[in-house]
Structure 1
Amino acid sequence: MDLNADLGEAFGVWSMGDDAAMLAQVSSANIACGFHAGDPQSMRTTAGNAASAGVAIGAHVAYRDLAGFGRRFVDAHPDELSADVYYQLCALDGMARAAGEQVRYVKPHGALYHACHDHRPHAAAVVEAMTLFAEATGRRLPLLLAPGALAHDLAAERGFATPKEVFADRGYNPDGTLVSRRAPGAVITDVPIVVEAMQRFVEEGTIIAIDGTVIPMEAESICLHGDTPGAVAMAESVRAALAGTGANIVSFA
């Protein structure tokens, strides 16, 4: 089982989360590429630290929305969005290469992540950017998203791997979508509850929605947000609990 976390979300003098501590717990790092958070220095530092820790580097691409932390839908033309995503991929890959590594996968962030689920023009734009990257580098990167994402279908048609993830610290609606961050129950900070949920997921393949609905869930990765209150303690507890079930923590990438 893979554990991934959103990292490198500093910007200038502003910092977020304890990236060094999170890198000791996860197997994949979704590194901000400068559009929702991150800057050249944070990208280079985080990519270097991930490489040193043996953690797979993923491009956490986003809408061009620093003020909204990438959590607002941006009605960009698909050609513009494709160029933006391609730009982010290339920028982070350059930083990773400077550290002796390379980008291993793609994970959209925030509103773009949700758009990849059901917004065909923007889902297609993300896949088009990945195709451009593959043509330029000869590397076809996996696309990490939630189960049922439209972008996964489009990516699979072009031969990209489509690993799926489940969120440890987010609430789920009965239909398997995430509870909006504007609604109660969106973010779960109670560590024992998160640990119990992830043990159940690993052992039974199910998630419990906020109304008690049991949701079957297939995924190869568990996401732990680096900006959730108590993120490091939560990551340590989840990793220890999964190890107790016999799960091997290793990146899908």
Structure 2
Amino acid sequence: MDLNADLGESFGAWTLGDDAEMLPLVTSANVACGFHAGDPVTLRRVCEGAAAAGVSVGAQVSYRDLAGFGRRFLDAAPDELTADVLYQLGALEAFARVAGTRVRYVKPHGALYNAIVAHEEQAAAVVRAVVEYDRTLPVLGLPGSAWLRLAGEAGLTVVAEAFADRAYTPEGTLVPRRLPGAVLHDPDEIARRCVAMATGEPVAAVDGSLLVLAPASICVHGDTPGAVAIARQVRAALTRAGVALAPFA
């Protein structure tokens, strides 16, 4: 099982998350690319830390929305969105190469991630960017999304993920953050859910119904309050359950 986290999201005077403490706990780092968060010094530092720790670097591409942290839908034209994703891939690749590693996968962030679950045109635009940049890069996303379907049709390697600390609808999509209970905070509950996900057992959706998610990667958010403690407990629980942790890329 791969364990991924969103890192590199500090910007200038604002610090978000604890990248140095998270890196030893995860196997893949979804690194911000400067459009929703992350300044050049931060991106370089995270790439260097990931390379030293043997953690895979992934490009967490987003809408161009620093003010909204990439969590607002933007009705971007397909050509513009493709160019924006290419720009972000190239920026992060520079820091990864200087650190002695490379960008090894792509994961959209925030509102873009959620939009391309169903928004065919934007999903196709992001797929196009990955195909044009490097079609050997795997893409990470929500099972059943237009993003993964179109990526697979384009010949890309698709990787399904689940979220450690997010509530699910009965349909297997994420409960919107604006709704109560969308983000989970109890480390014990989160760890139990992750073990269930990793071993093919069902987890409860927000209405109490059961879902079997069967992910290849589990995301622990780096900006959730208590994120380091949660990630540490998740990793320990998976290890106790006999789940081997390794990057998918």
Q: TM-score, normalised by structure 1?
A: 0.97
Q: Would you say 1:61 and 2:55 are equivalent positions?
A: no
Measured after TM superposition, the shift of residue 211 of structure 1 is 1.3
- Match for 1:53: what amino acid? A
Q: Would you say 1:192 and 2:192 are equivalent positions?
A: no
| 4+ residue segments displaced more than 4 Å | none
Q: Which residue of 1 aligns with 2:156?
A: 160
Q: Distance in 1 between matches of 2:38 and 2:188?
A: 31
Q: Distance in 1 between matches of 2:98 and 2:231?
A: 28
1:22-60 superposed Cα distances (whole Å, 9 cap, x missing partner)? 001000000000000001111111111111111000000
Q: Which residue of 2 aligns with 1:82?
A: 82
Q: Distance in 2 between matches of 1:179 and 1:44?
A: 33
Aligned residues: 249
Q: Which residue of 1 aligns with 2:240?
A: 244
Structure 1: gaps of 5 or more residues: none
Q: Distance in 1 between matches of 2:31 and 2:77?
A: 24
Q: Which residue of 2 aligns with 1:127?
A: 127
Q: Distance in 1 between matches of 2:112 and 2:40?
A: 21
Q: Distance in 1 between matches of 2:151 and 2:199?
A: 29
Q: Distance in 1 between matches of 2:200 and 2:126?
A: 32
Q: Which residue of 2 aligns with 1:204?
A: 200
Q: Would you say 1:98 and 2:94 are equivalent positions?
A: no
Q: Which residue of 1 aligns with 2:219?
A: 223
Alignment check: 8 A CA contact 1:147 1:218 kept: no
Q: Would you say 1:114 and 2:114 are equivalent positions?
A: yes
Alignment check: 8 A CA contact 2:198 2:215 kept: no
Measured after TM superposition, the shift of residue 16 of structure 1 is 0.3
Q: Which residue of 2 aligns with 1:42?
A: 42
Measured after TM superposition, the shift of residue 160 of structure 1 is 0.6
Q: Distance in 2 between matches of 1:43 and 1:173?
A: 33
Q: Quick check: 44-53 or 203-212, which moved more?
A: 203-212
Q: Which residue of 1 aligns with 2:230?
A: 234
Q: Distance in 1 between matches of 2:153 and 2:132?
A: 15
Q: Distance in 2 between matches of 1:146 and 1:167?
A: 9
SS in 2 for 1:246: coil
Q: Distance in 2 between matches of 1:83 and 1:203?
A: 39
Q: Which residue of 2 aligns with 1:183?
A: 179
Q: Distance in 2 between matches of 1:76 and 1:172?
A: 27
Measured after TM superposition, the shift of residue 207 of structure 1 is 2.2
Q: Distance in 2 between matches of 1:40 and 1:221?
A: 27
Alignment check: 8 A CA contact 2:63 2:74 kept: yes
Q: Distance in 2 between matches of 1:79 and 1:203?
A: 41
Structure 2: gaps of 5 or more residues: none
Measured after TM superposition, the shift of residue 83 of structure 1 is 0.1
Measured after TM superposition, the shift of residue 101 of structure 1 is 0.4
Measured after TM superposition, the shift of residue 104 of structure 1 is 0.3
1:60-91 superposed Cα distances (whole Å, 9 cap, x missing partner)? 00000001000000111000000000000011
* Identical pairs, percent: 56
Alignment check: 8 A CA contact 1:6 1:224 kept: yes
Q: Distance in 2 between matches of 1:202 and 1:110?
A: 23
Q: Which residue of 2 aligns with 1:174?
A: 170
Q: Which residue of 1 aligns with 2:32?
A: 32
Q: Distance in 2 between matches of 1:162 and 1:176?
A: 17
